[in-house]
Structure 1
């Protein structure tokens, strides 16, 4: 079963259906900030704040 396709013009994989058999999760981060997002646009961000800033 096909859930998406690769778009050669924008060079990205396009998900056409959100009923995937498993969650498609992306983890991104830089320094003390990171986020976790899934294919249904759900997610969260977290920033590590040090004491005495």
Structure 2
């Protein structure tokens, strides 16, 4: 019983960590209707700033 409970808890933590900042959402239509994380927004803003310099 303890092993099953442990496996369930581990699976929940691994699923949560994948959704904090999902990779490859730019390949999905409308970003897969997933919100971008702060890191992705920061990279977008840096890209826009570099593009405007040129």
Q: TM-score, normalised by structure 1?
A: 0.25
Which of structures 1 and 2 has the bigger CA Rg? 2
Higher relative strand content? 1
Query: Greater relative contact order: 1 or 2 (C-alpha under 8 angstroms, separation 6 or more)?
Result: 2
Give the alignment's TM-score, normalised by structure 2: 0.25
Q: Is the helix fraction higher in 1 or 2?
A: 2
